Structure 1
Amino acid sequence: MTAALRHYDPPSLARRLSDAQTMTRPLMLDIIENACRRFTSPAQTERRARIMRLVDAQAWTDAALALMELELPLWQVRRIAYDEGEWHCALSRERELPDWLDAAVEAHHGDLALALLSAFIEVQALAVEASRPSVPTVRPAIDSLYEPVGCENFS
């Protein structure tokens, strides 16, 4: 896990998003501070300024989309739908695939910006999990009594 994401707790942040009724400036700044690695990059000064202008204007949906564009360049919004009082958002790496073949990340919330950011946090959580190896990379110590033996019979 990278040093920038050691204090990052995706389940806690996802819970805060699902419990929130509407987006607020402190919640958005907390997401930016804890879940965004590229935001602080010196190469992203213009994008960072644009996102902060959107946050200052409380344009939460536009800020969420701009943040996803910056932080998840390989992911795209596959679907945004409103059904029975909730926004449903799906993010995908392969948007052109049929639904049944695509492994999209989906989230829902009563507020569109919170639905988008919930899906964003889900993708970030997948990235954190994928960065950890499933098998240890440390090689075991070789036994001092170990000696390779050839056991081919060439007769």
Structure 2
Amino acid sequence: MTAAPRCYDPPSLSERLRTVDAMTRPLMLEIIDKACRRFPSLGQNERTARVMRLVDAEAWTDAALALMELELPLWQVRRIAYDEGEWHCALSRERELPDWLDAAVEGCHGDLAIALLSAFIEVQALAVEVSRPSVPSVRSALDPLYEPVACDHFG
């Protein structure tokens, strides 16, 4: 039996996170369902059970951090700052680099858990883009006016 392909849609989740005021259980479950690739494949192990216990306890920030640890093992929280009513969270693969050299991914929101998950969703969106082939596809038929020309000059 083949599993139905899951629909990963980080851009719509990103937009949704921008418009909500606070984290809710249905929203967290939607994020797990639509943005997490490892979570369902791990089944019910200790790490996924921990995330679900945190969700059940409505410990949103801890659940977001546990989910990022599970889904993004190569990424770490670089910075969490609160400024003028908003949380700013940056995730990085190279946390030890100076800020100006690091390509951190940032998320911001008035709610800390949503700010963390916004950055998480942005990283997941980058992963979807990177998974596309970097080499363009070859055309199936050559242009009839195309004729190769040798342009070597050994003189």
User: TM-score w.r.t. structure 2 length?
Assistant: 0.84
Per-residue CA deviation, residues 15-42 of structure 1 (Å, 9 max, x unaligned), is: 1111010000000000000100110123
Per-residue CA deviation, residues 53-76 of structure 1 (Å, 9 max, x unaligned), is: 000000000000000000000000
How far does residue 139 in structure 1 lie from its aligned partner after superposition?
6.8
What residue is the counterpart of 2:104 in the other structure?
Answer: 104
Report SS of the residue matched to 2:108.
Answer: strand
Structure having the higher helix fraction is 1
Report SS of the residue matched to 2:50.
Answer: helix
Cα distance in 2 for partners of 1:42, 1:69 equals 14
Taking only aligned residues, the RMSD between alpha carbons, in angstroms, comes to 2.5
How far does residue 11 in structure 1 lie from its aligned partner after superposition?
1.6
Q: Percent identity?
A: 81
What residue is the counterpart of 1:123 in the other structure?
Answer: 123
Matching of residues 3-152 of structure 1 within 5 Å:
4=5, 7-42=7-42, 45-138=45-138, 140=140
Give 5+ residue unaligned stretches, structure 1. 143-155
Q: How many residues align?
A: 146
Give 5+ residue unaligned stretches, structure 2. 143-155
Worse-matched range after superposition: 44-53 or 22-31: 44-53
User: TM-score w.r.t. structure 1 length?
Assistant: 0.84
Cα distance in 1 for partners of 2:44, 2:76 equals 19
